[in-house]
Every structure is written in structure tokens, then in C-alpha cells.
Structure 1
Amino acid sequence: MLMNQPYVIILANGLNGLGAVRSAAQAGLRTYTLLTSQTDLSAYSRYGQYRFLLPENPGLHDIKPVLDHLYHNENGPGVLIACSDLSAELLGRLKTEGYSNHHLIVPSSETTELLNDKKLECLSMEEGGITLPKTYYDLGNNVPESFPLIIKPRTFREYSVLGAKNVIVNAREELDEFCERFHGQLDCFIAQEVIEGDDDNLWVCNVTFGLNRELVACFVFNRLGTMPSHYGVTSLAISRQNQVLRDECAKIGMALNYSGPAMIEFKKDQNTGIYYYIETNPRLGMCNWFDTRCGINNILACTQVAYGNTVAFAPQKNNRVYWNFFGDLVARLEDRENVCAVLYRYIGLLRYRQVAALFYWKDPHPAFVYSRASVKDIFTRVKRRLFGKSA
């Protein structure tokens, strides 16, 4: 049992933050939630009753007064949890500054900034002997050997430059068009060969590393669907044990000198069976509520590390399905999958125990808010498909 009246301070964002708030509540931890929007999903949760609103793009001068207030109000430190790339950078900078009013179970700012820059991240992994897809760092001069390629912004700040999280190019002509379109901005991107395989070759490990960089908690799941399809975030998944990836995560943590939560992604080549490293997000994973419902609570793990307690979890519960129904359905419709095939797949998944991405009977309001917006979005897309863009 945890001592010293532990509490957590969650820098919430979307599904990540909602899952973190619920996971903290399930662990019996008192929770303060820092939001950058009054309409964030966590704002509708009954477990996020103590909330602070920050500016849209907060800096240290915005967050420090709130943290200092909580420290004095609670007569002691809490545990800071990042749920977005931006908040991970903020916590890394606090750690580098030597901020000590709260527990910072996070990597250094150097590690966080390295992982938030795809070019620096991939170069570092190559040097550490991690298996990556063929990667091109200089699109203006490197001639790719094969296609298709996935082009990624180097950091989350370049999403606005690209207008998306990634772009797929299937031939040299498409790459030439891309390079012409973004001439003068090509240093903002890297490209990687697309590993052959469907969505069920995608794997995710939501992990926590201790103060000695050891792997103290690890939840593994196999993606079955993403939004958008094939190259997006998890919309459908199943929990499955994978010792090969657990071992790989332990190696990555030691190589990065990493402490704190992380989300590490891999893809298995359907022809060779080789697992390729895709990326590490230096923050809590989006599906952390799935972790918790399968017996591995990474919020609790971070808190136990912070308060000097032993982290001990039973093996994860396997063959449970994570399901973001509306998100997955929209992604499949956009990908023009056969509707009957989609329904047949969904019916087949009903034999497994479900973990809904949004709905939780003890905390239903966020799901209703999300579902209302999703239904409206689906009707808009259907009207556009039937009647054209003017609808």
C-alpha cells in the first residue's frame, strides 16, 4: 500500500488524459488535472474534479505557479504525469532545471527532445543497434531505393506544415511532387520504407522505467485497427503477451538512460517475422486505460517508483479487446472497406471481453460527449459521399 498520502498531477490531453484520470482513480490516488481546453475529455470525467485551466500552449511560467500552489496546499510533492508531447517537453525542462517541489519520474529534457525529433530519434536508435525500417534523413539528396514510403514530420510542431501526422508516397513521381511542394522545408521531414503487413502486424508496448532505468511495468497489445487506417493511432487492439518485445523495450530503456512512462511501437514484417522499431513517445500512452483494465496500471507504477515502493504486478490479462467503435468505423469507411466484412469482423470480436476506449459505466459522460460528436461527423461524411462536397 502506498504511503505519504500520494497524489498525481496529470497534464491531460484527450484520450490519454481521460485514461490517466480514470487509472489514478482506480488506484485510489488523489488527482489534480491540468487542462488546456475546457472541452477536453477529462473535463467531463467525474474523476477529474480538481482541475486547473492552462493556456493553449503553456510554458514553464504558466505551469510553475500552479505546481507551487499544489505543493504548498498539499504540504508535500505529488507525481507529475505527461499525456502529450508538449507536456512531456515541459516536464523534461523542469527536471533539467532541478525543479524539486514534485516528483518528476520522466526522462531528461535532452532525451525527451531527442525522442520528439524523429531524425535524432532514429539516428540514436541506429547507433544503439535497434532494428529500424530503411530511413532517409535528407529527402532533397537521398534517393530512396524502394516504395512505398511514409513521410513523417520530425516533430509534432511540423504537423501544421504537413497538415497531417504522415503522408504515404507510392512512387518516385509522388516523392518528386512532395519535394517540389515543400521545397525549402524538406529538413522538417524524414522518410521510411513501409514495412509489409496489415494493421495486425502493429504492436505497442506501454511501459514504465524505474529510477535505475529498469523496466518495472510493461503492457503489450497487438493493434487490429488504426484511425486513420494503417498509419494512425489505435482504434482496435487485443492484449497479447510478447516476450521478444518486452526484452526489446528493456534494451531501449537502458540505451536511452530512460525513466518514467513511455509508449514504444513496433511493426512485424509479415514475410520475415522481424520486428522493426517504429517510435518511442516519451509520455503516457494513449491507451493507458486499456493497460489498467488488463491489470497493468502505469499511473500506479509511476507513483510507486516516485514514492520508493516496489512495483509488482501480476501478468497482464490477455485476449481482451480495446475498441474505439466510432473512430474505428469511420477509419474503415474512409478506407472503403466492405461494410459487410467490417460488421463480420466486429461480430467476431464479441467473443472477447471488451474494454471501451471511452465508455465506462462508472464515468459515462465523456463517452456521450465523444459519441455525439462522432455521430455528427459520420453523418457529415456520408452526406458528402452521397451528395458531393457541397452537402
Structure 2
Amino acid sequence: MYLMCVSLNYHQLPIELREKFSFSADEIPKANRLLNAEKSILENLLISTCNRTEIYAVVDQIHTGRYYIKRFLAEWFHYTVEEFNQYVSITTKDDAASHLFRVIVGLDSLIKGEPQILGQMKNAFQVATDQGTTGVILNHLFRQAITFSKRMHTEYRVSELAQSSGQAGLHQIKSDFGSLEGKSLAVIGLGHIGKHTAYNASNMGFSKVLLLNRTDQKAEQIANELQGVVEARPFSQLDSVMAEVDAAVFAASVKEPLYQVTNDRQQVIIDLGVPRNVANNSECVNYYDIDNLHSILETNDTKKNQMLNQIAKEIPLEVNDFYVWEKQLHIVPVIRGLREHSLKIEGEAYDSLLRKLPELNAHERKVISKHMKSIINQMIKGPIKEIKELSVTPGATADIDFFCKIFGMDNLKVENQENDR
């Protein structure tokens, strides 16, 4: 049995190609079932996100597994296998396991260290298990990977480091106050930066988040999307809102300041505008412009890279732990023994056929050999899947012994077989 990952991802493909090779959530259960019916595929799991479409599979042979997965994807997306080859990347064995651990912890994401991919992977695993297309190997591997990712996110908390000016501003507000409990925030200007700032602020713990935009309708639309503590206010009420809130983030595109600080009330103001949105002469106000926040982002970049390097160093240990576990599965050498035993019978039958039909040419011999191997692969696929699942049950030893006996492998020395990686 061999682990394999077939990937279409943002490293090789721009978005205009990735969107052509994307599965919808409704399509994935059917796709998992259809792929599982293909020759050589013993277990499989499919994930499709905005940055990647990937299949993780356990196959009985690498070359046939590679062929049937690529053929499945090519047919689903209406390409020939030859056309599809230029888009797909394939890893096997240790490299496939390492790739999974990198993906699920966020090291392979566009935004390094982001936690969203963990939830997407957990969902993909659940869908595949519901369809019955995973088994002993993928179940163990994905549970281990999910646990590893949770541990890394808890230990290093990469996602908590601000990676944008808006995030840095919000973190600065939280740092100045210590706690956001009972604190109110205004976000003024709801372009790209302001909108994302509003989304991030909506679940940070503010008691109230007020949105203002020179087009009132846009503020109302975003407030309706976020709901909860988020409210829209008319832009004409800017001065009264600023007198009301504890903190504000300005992110409008203007030529002249929108707001002049006139009171001596303790307040935190983040000014993301260039030109600046706020004219501030008050010593009571904690005021930060884009240059003040730049040093925070630089420090965060350094910390983030250090954390990501530490996470990357943990992955080889996880891969090794997985293969140590797999090596302890008594069933691995049994399955290899069944394949070798079956192919030996196929080889003897093929040689006998050639002796009886010496007039066959090279092409005819190749076709016959290919179909005989296909028959063997299809005949043993079902038994392999069954005994693989039985291998982790309480009666595994007796089941494996019986399996070996009925397939004529009584003399198989399991303890002397070594697991290929």
C-alpha cells in the first residue's frame, strides 16, 4: 500500500485555471465515491478550496494509482490525460505525508500559518468518512494531522500576529486598553481596508462597532452582513460618533482631514489614511498613523517567520511517527504477499498461454498481459480492503491467519517482511 497526493494548487496554477479544476461542496461526495470505484484506489479523500484541489489516496501500486487518479480528474473536468499532465503535481510516500502536514498547518497557504485550512481539511475528512472512502491508513493519518495542526496553532498562535495595517491597528487598540470589554469602536471609511477592519473588529470583543462611510448605503449593507454588535451610522454624525466611542479606525481616501480632535477625552485613534484622515493636537489621545504601525508589522513578520520555521522542523518527526505506526500494522506485509502471490500465478498463466499460442505478435502479447494484470488487480482489491479494515479489530490475528490460509500464503513470514516507504 502506498500513500499518494495528487494536487492542483496555486503554486502551479493561476486563479483562472484553478477555478476550472474546482469541485463544489455538492460534487465532492459523488466524486469521492466514483474515484473509490477505480482500479488500484484503496482509500481516497478529496479537498477543494480557492487555492487547491487535492486528492489524498492509498493505492496498491504507485504507477497504476497515479494513472487512474489523473484519468479520473481529466474525465471529470473534460480534459485528456495528456493535457492534464501539465497542470498536476504528484507526491508519494514520505513526500505525500509531509505535504499533508504542511498544508493542514498552513505552511503551504498563500497567507502562511492561517488556520482556515484546518477547518477545511477537517470537513473534507468528515465528508470522505461519511462516504466510506477512507480506511485504516487515511483515518489514522488525518487524525494525526488534525491533532498536529491544532497543537501548532495553540503553541505558536501565528494567526494572532497582525499581517495588515488594519489588523495592526486593532491589535494596537487592544494593547492600549488591555481589555476590550465594554469598549466601543468606530470604523470610518469602508473601502478594502476599512471593510476588512470592520469584519475583524466584529468578533474581537468590542461592545459596539459603529460603521460610517461617505456613502451611507454601503455602511448599512456591511452592518447588515455582520449584525451582532455592528451598527451603521450616517456619515453626517461623525463628530457625535467620535464623542461617543472609545476608539476609532479611519481608513478613508481624502485630500484633507475628515476629523479634528477637539476634546481631551482619553481615546485611541488609528489613522490608516494617506493623506491622513485626522488632525490631532491632543495629548490625551493615543494617535497612530500608518508609519507608527509599520514597525509593528515588521516585528510581526520577524516573529512569524521564526514561528513558521519552528513548525516546519516538527513535520519530519510527524511523518516518521506515521510510518512507525504503519510499519507496526501486521497487514502491510500480508497485502504485499498477496500481490506477489497473485502476480506469480498471473505470470505462470501468461507463460503457459504463450507456449500454447506461439503465433501471437508483440502487440497482442502486451494487450493480453495488460488485461490479465487488470483482472488480478480487480479480484484482489476487494479482499485487500476488507482485510485492511479487519487488521485493527480485536480478532485481527485470527483474521489475518485465516486470510493467509485461504489465499495459499500459509508460510508468509510477517515478522521478516519490511514495510516499503
Q: TM-score, normalised by structure 2?
A: 0.25
Larger radius of gyration, structure 1 or 2?
2
So what's the TM-score if we normalise by structure 1? Answer: 0.26
State the structure with bigger RCO (CA 8 A, min sep 6), 1 or 2.
1
